[in-house]
């Protein structure tokens, strides 16, 4: 079996390296001090001095003496991967090894001790091979990180496409529902109102004012019912107070109307919200809140809900807590057939770079149960007051 070229190179210099190590042992503290000073003079290396100090070539020669070249290669590559993972650049790794060699050469080539060229060549070869192993480890880490990032990008693109399709379906369903509601509620009232007005016109010609008054009274009732239907539809789309007074008053109004309709006691706080939110953040949070409260009514059997809206640590958060019967959050979210609403919330928030957490357990005793939904969206450069 042919010997690995790098292993052969290390084997050839192993003995002279041990001689070099013995020769430099009396100067080890001066060499190390000189090396650290040089590292600190080079800005990219200065901030990683503690990490780069692990590349002390004296200790690496000791490792080579006690292990096989193959083991030494694997260990050196692992060192390179670890340094890259901790944020040390390839350039800093290469410079650190070169500077250590520079510090050692001043002692190997001193006037007091005539230089032994086979020592210098052995040490230079070892440093080159060791640096190659380190950089190979760095490169493998970067390749793995790049592959992981590409996989994440592909997954994000796939989820974005899926969500776009789901969102398109949801918009189409919402459009059909809105059209149906307009037809059933308001359209019906307008048709009857038209007939009443025609009858009023005929009765007014015959002078039957009692019938005119009765039909007018019924027409007013129809108009009131139609107005109520319009308010109901616009409320679900987003209350007018949103455009008139802002996002927080709109949420407060929605929560108050929700409590009035359902009998569920809701406590809402936005006292710790100190940032103006982008419009797309407001829309996403409003839609998620609507979905969460719809789930409370449909499934939770809760009596109380607490909603907290705040900005802190460079993010806006909203926390929705209820005291309902709870559910198996892990199983529900992972089962597409059971969790369209929850997954829609998750996708909507994650597409904005945020995170959503569902925390719930099925109720087993009276004191147990309840669900918490916590959403976090990064504020980035948005100023907080």
CATH number of the domain residue 37 falls in: 1.10.490.10
Partners of 324 in the beta sheet?
A: none
Q: Is residue 383, in this structure, part of any structural domain at all?
A: no
Least Cα distance to 257 among 234, 227, 274 occurs for: 234
Question: Do 108 and 148 have their domain in common?
Answer: yes
Look at the block and give the residue holding tokens 């109380």.
Answer: 304
Residue 360 confidence (pLDDT) = 82
Q: Is residue 322, in this structure, part of any structural domain at all?
A: yes
Instruction: Measure the CA–CA gap between 291 and 153, rounded to whole angstroms.
Output: 28
Total domains in the chain come to 3
Instruction: Measure the CA–CA gap between 250 and 238, rounded to whole angstroms.
Output: 8
Please provide residue 318's backbone torsions phi and psi, each rounded to the nearest 5 degrees: -135, 130
Question: Do 170 and 198 have their domain in common?
Answer: yes
**Encoded tokens for 208:** 């039957």
Query: Which letter does DSSP use for residue 298 in this model?
Result: I
Q: What is the per-residue burial (b if ≥16 Cβ within 10 Å, else e) of 242-262?
A: beeeebeebbbbbbeebbeee
CATH number of the domain residue 313 falls in: 3.30.565.10
What SS3 state is found at 272?
strand
Residues near 192 by Cβ (< 8 Å), separated by ≥ 6? 222
pTM over 0.75: no
DSSP 155-203: HHHHHHHHHHHHHHHHHHHHHHHHHHHIIIIIIHHHHHHHHHHHHHHHH
Residue 74 confidence (pLDDT) = 86
Residue 1 confidence (pLDDT) = 43
Please identify, among 111, 137, 152, the residue that sits at the C-terminal boundary of a domain. Answer: 152
Convert the pLDDT of each residue in 304-346 to its tens digit.
999 999 988 789 999 999 988 887 766 655 555 545 677 778 8
Q: Are strands 371-378 and 315-322 parallel, antiparallel or unpaired?
A: antiparallel
Instruction: Measure the CA–CA gap between 336 and 160, rounded to whole angstroms.
Output: 16
HSE-CB at 16 with a 13 A cutoff on CA atoms is 18
Give pLDDT < 70 ranges for the chain.
1-4, 6-7, 63-64, 66, 110-115, 163-165, 167-172, 174-175, 177-188, 230-245, 329-340, 363-369, 381-385
CB contact at 8 A, 120 and 109: yes
Question: Do 99 and 205 have their domain in common?
Answer: no
Question: Do 18 and 122 have their domain in common?
Answer: yes
Q: Is residue 317, in this structure, part of any structural domain at all?
A: yes
Instruction: Measure the CA–CA gap between 53 and 51, rounded to whole angstroms.
Output: 5
Q: Is residue 253, in this structure, part of any structural domain at all?
A: yes
**Encoded tokens for 157:** 């693109």
Question: Do 146 and 187 have their domain in common?
Answer: no
Instruction: Measure the CA–CA gap between 141 and 274, rounded to whole angstroms.
Output: 41
Please provide residue 98's backbone torsions phi and psi, each rounded to the nearest 5 degrees: -65, -40
Q: Is residue 384, in this structure, part of any structural domain at all?
A: no
Residue 181 confidence (pLDDT) = 66
Question: Do 368 and 250 have their domain in common?
Answer: yes
Instruction: Measure the CA–CA gap between 56 and 49, rounded to whole angstroms.
Output: 12
Instruction: Count other C-beta atoms under 10 Å from residue 28's C-beta.
Output: 14
Q: Counting Cβ atoms within 10 Å, is residue 301 exposed (0-12), middle (13-18) or buried (19+)?
A: middle
CB contact at 8 A, 200 and 216: yes
Residue 209 structural domain:
159-234
HSE-CB at 62 with a 13 A cutoff on CA atoms is 8
Please identify, among 131, 152, 173, the residue that sits at the C-terminal boundary of a domain. Answer: 152
CB contact at 8 A, 269 and 248: no
Question: Do 179 and 229 have their domain in common?
Answer: yes
Question: Do 19 and 103 have their domain in common?
Answer: yes
Partners of 310 in the beta sheet?
A: 272, 317
Instruction: Measure the CA–CA gap between 124 and 105, rounded to whole angstroms.
Output: 9
Instruction: Count other C-beta atoms under 10 Å from residue 381's C-beta.
Output: 5
Question: Do 211 and 86 have their domain in common?
Answer: no
Q: Is residue 294, in this structure, part of any structural domain at all?
A: yes
Question: Do 11 and 145 have their domain in common?
Answer: yes
Question: Do 190 and 302 have their domain in common?
Answer: no
Question: Do 146 and 37 have their domain in common?
Answer: yes
Please identify, among 85, 117, 152, the residue that sits at the C-terminal boundary of a domain. Answer: 152
Q: Is residue 385, in this structure, part of any structural domain at all?
A: no
Partners of 316 in the beta sheet?
A: 311, 377
Convert the pLDDT of each residue in 154-175 to its tens digit.
887 787 777 666 766 666 676 6
Convert the pLDDT of each residue in 364-377 to its tens digit.
655 566 889 999 99
């Amino acid at each position: 079996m042919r010997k690995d070229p790098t292993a052969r190179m290390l084997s050839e210099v192993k003995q002279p390296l041990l001689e070099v190590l013995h020769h430099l042992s009396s100067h080890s503290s001066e060499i190390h001090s000189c090396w650290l000073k040089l590292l600190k003079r080079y800005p990219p290396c200065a901030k990683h001095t503690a990490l780069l100090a692990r590349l002390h070539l004296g200790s690496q020669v000791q490792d080579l003496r006690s292990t096989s070249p193959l083991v030494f290669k694997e260990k050196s590559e692992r060192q390179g991967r670890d340094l890259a993972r901790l944020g040390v650049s390839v350039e800093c790794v290469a410079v650190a090894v070169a500077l250590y060699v520079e510090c050692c050469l001043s002692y190997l080539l001193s006037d007091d001790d005539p230089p032994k060229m086979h020592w210098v060549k052995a040490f230079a070869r070892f440093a080159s091979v060791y640096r190659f192993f380190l950089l190979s480890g760095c490169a493998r880490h970067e390749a793995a990180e790049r592959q992981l990032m590409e996989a994440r990008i592909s997954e994000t693109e796939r989820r974005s496409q899926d969500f776009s399709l789901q969102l398109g379906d949801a918009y189409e369903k919402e459009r059909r529902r809105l059209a149906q509601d307009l037809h059933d509620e308001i359209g019906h009232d307008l048709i009857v109102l038209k007939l009443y007005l025609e009858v009023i016109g005929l009765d007014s010609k015959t002078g039957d004012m009692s019938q005119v008054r009765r039909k007018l009274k019924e027409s007013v009732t129809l108009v009131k019912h139609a107005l109520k239907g319009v308010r109901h539809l616009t409320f679900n789309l987003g209350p007018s107070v949103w455009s008139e007074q802002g996002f927080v008053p709109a949420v407060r109004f929605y929560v108050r109307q929700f409590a009035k309709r359902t009998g569920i006691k809701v406590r809402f706080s936005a006292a710790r919200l100190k940032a103006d939110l982008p419009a797309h953040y407001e829309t996403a949070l409003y839609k998620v809140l609507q979905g969460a409260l719809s789930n409370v009514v449909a499934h939770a059997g809760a009596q109380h809900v607490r909603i907290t809206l705040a900005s802190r640590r460079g993010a806006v958060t909203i926390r929705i807590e209820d005291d309902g019967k709870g559910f198996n959050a892990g199983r529900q979210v992972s089962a597409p057939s059971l969790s369209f609403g929850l997954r829609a919330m998750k996708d909507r928030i994650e597409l904005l770079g945020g995170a959503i957490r569902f925390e719930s357990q099925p109720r087993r005793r009276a004191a147990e149960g309840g669900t918490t939904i916590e959403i976090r969206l990064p504020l980035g450069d948005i100023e907080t007051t």
